[in-house]
Structure 1
Amino acid sequence: MTINPTFAAPSAAHEQPSPLVDFWNDILAPKFIRYRHILVGGLSRHSAAVMPALGIAPGSSVLDVGCGFGDTAIEIAHRVAPGGHVVGIDCCQAFLDIAWNCAEFSLAPNIHFAARDAERGLEENAYDFVFSRFGTMFFMNPVAGLRSMRKALKPGGRVAHIVWRRREDNPWLNEPHQVVRRFLPPPGEEALTCGPGPFSMASEDVTRAQMEAAGFTDIAFRRIDAKVLVGRDIEDAIGFQLAIGPAGETFREAGELGQARRAGIVRALEELFSGVETTPEGLWMDSSSWLITARSPGS
């Protein structure tokens, strides 16, 4: 089957992309693709826990911001059929190439993917629902990004986005990071980063204020706790941590020093991961996120 969407991708005025876009495409995308089995299969429990309760109705038009490999966009596309459609946007074209193939395999013809920077303006008054799983934390300007999402909604439209809670509530990222920091200094002020980082929306008070500044109403927070896959085995878990996330950023920015101390870091991470829950599918650790829901003003 070849997917030929009859609806248009977002068509906001062209603006210069965020400087993070090149970094995501050139540096992070290959790493994310390599560990796709963790980023999709390992984190899907957070969206699976809430998707049935979001009330996305058949016939709805939905925007998925930071859709990555397309798994949430595809699930939503099935939920809004018949009559509804989904547009998934991401700044990484390599992710979207995979997403297209997944959508075709999943027989989801009511879906379109487009390479867009959500902070730089989206089609306005176009969607009944805007969704994002672990994408909004990386906005360089959170209020601008959230406002762009709000403007994309029709009056009275709804938004739901999932973000990580505090470091302390996410040992799957925090504990490996602490191990790496025993060996290496923190990244410097000029370090290349993925943006504000995975915990930038961990504070309910701060994020609520950002949502309010972006123009949302009826803002609500719901805590989600779930085990996440951190690797198929210890070697896979170590490779993931040294490639992605706070530990990966610290290791990458350390350069030659990181490589010189790699053996010791690996031994320490082996000790950490030898004590986590293990099933035939792999290694699992605790994680915690916020589901944040809100509404665009209007009838």
Structure 2
Amino acid sequence: MTFQNEFTTHDTEILPTSPLVEFWNDTLAPKFLKYRHVLEGGLSRHSETVMPMLDISRGNHVLDVGCGFGDTAIAMANRVGPDGQVVGVDCCDDFLDIARNRPERRFAPNVRFETGDAERGLGVAQYDFVFSRFGTMFFANPVAGLRSMRNALKPGGHMAHIVWRERVDNPWLIEARDIVRRYLPAPGADARTCGPGPFSMADEDTTRAQMVAAGFTNIAFQRIDAKVQVGRDIDDAVNFQLAVGPAGETYREAGDEGVARRAEIVIALSELFEDVQAREGGLWMDSSSWLITARAPR
């Protein structure tokens, strides 16, 4: 059964792929694949911290929205056991190719991965639990995306998503961005981006209002602090920052000007990462996220 069939809405029209989804697949996915070791190895600290807190039970049906490389979906499949099911959905086919072929998936036959755009519907009242790790911040229409997640829940079902907190609490992204913007202009209003951005849900009051508008109840925020890996070494960290995140967006949008100034930007970023203590096979910096939990009305 395909994702399109399973999560069909009352409107059977097949909509064209959104520009944002095209941008993720064409531009961002190759960069994310190249730095999978940074993204998955670092971000997993947050999901590993929150996984024991999630209200998931044996036999539950679970949806993982923006599942990426599939590690969280497989972890939850182990939680729900053989009588439960987990569906991981992402808009990037390249991510899902990795998810489907992870070696540990052999021990989780109750998980499958499907392509889909969460903002265009995830089905109705099919799941006991809906989860997202660092995916909801990129919804072009946050209320629509969150409402789609709520609609996918059975009455009284639970959801949880992890989003980045304020910029000041996440120097691993912001310090590099600030350095790059000493040399290059900030992206303009017409820039092609990954969506609202990693800090679009950092403000508790704003995000709570979006979730209320999407129909959630029992909304709670819990701060999670963890180290994230920014690279195996200084060169890896510098190249990662120039590929993804706010620094990478600035560099990409600068075009030829960015290429012309790359050498001096690399020197400046290298000086930043020289002050980062190496441990556990890489460079790690401070980061902070929100674990946001809520319920669908009964």
TM-score normalised to structure 2 length: 0.96
How far residue 98 of structure 1 moved from its aligned partner, in angstroms, is 0.5
Structure 1 residue ranges without an equivalent (≥5)? none
How far residue 18 of structure 1 moved from its aligned partner, in angstroms, is 2.5
Q: Distance in 1 between matches of 2:6 and 2:288?
A: 33
How far residue 107 of structure 1 moved from its aligned partner, in angstroms, is 1.7
Matched with 1:93 is 93
Query: Residue type matched to 1:230 in 2?
Result: V
Residues 179-218 of structure 1: CA deviation (Å, up to 9, x unaligned): 0000000111111100000000000000000000000000
Matched with 1:83 is 83
Structure 2 CA distance for partners of 1:119 and 1:247, relative to 1, 3 Å: same
Matched with 1:120 is 120
Residues 227-256 of structure 1: CA deviation (Å, up to 9, x unaligned): 000000000001100000000000000011
Taking the TM superposition and a 5 Å limit, the aligned residue runs for 1:21-32 are: 21-32=21-32
How far residue 121 of structure 1 moved from its aligned partner, in angstroms, is 1.0
Taking the TM superposition and a 5 Å limit, the aligned residue runs for 1:115-194 are: 115-194=115-194
Give yes or no for contact 1:74–1:103 (8 Å, CA) kept in 2: no
Taking the TM superposition and a 5 Å limit, the aligned residue runs for 1:177-216 are: 177-216=177-216
Matched with 1:284 is 284
Q: Distance in 1 between matches of 2:152 and 2:65?
A: 11
Give yes or no for contact 1:67–1:88 (8 Å, CA) kept in 2: yes
Matched with 1:230 is 230
Matched with 1:35 is 35
Matched with 1:54 is 54
The sequence identity of aligned pairs, in percent, is 69
How far residue 10 of structure 1 moved from its aligned partner, in angstroms, is 3.2
Q: Distance in 2 between matches of 1:42 and 1:74?
A: 17
Structure 2 CA distance for partners of 1:104 and 1:226, relative to 1, 3 Å: closer
Query: Residue type matched to 1:208 in 2?
Result: R
Matched with 1:10 is 7
How far residue 112 of structure 1 moved from its aligned partner, in angstroms, is 1.1
> Structure 1 residues 278-287 or 128-137, which shifts more?
278-287
Q: Distance in 2 between matches of 1:105 and 1:132?
A: 19
- Aligned partner of residue 286 in structure 1, secondary structure: strand
Q: Distance in 2 between matches of 1:49 and 1:277?
A: 22
TM-score normalised to structure 1 length: 0.95
Query: Residue type matched to 2:7 in 1?
Result: P
RMSD value, Cα: 1.4
Structure 2 residue ranges without an equivalent (≥5)? none
Give yes or no for contact 1:9–1:114 (8 Å, CA) kept in 2: no
Matched with 1:274 is 274
How far residue 277 of structure 1 moved from its aligned partner, in angstroms, is 2.1
> Number of aligned pairs?
293
> Structure 1 residues 84-93 or 94-103, which shifts more?
94-103
Structure 2 CA distance for partners of 1:204 and 1:161, relative to 1, 3 Å: same
How far residue 280 of structure 1 moved from its aligned partner, in angstroms, is 4.0
Give yes or no for contact 2:8–2:121 (8 Å, CA) kept in 1: no
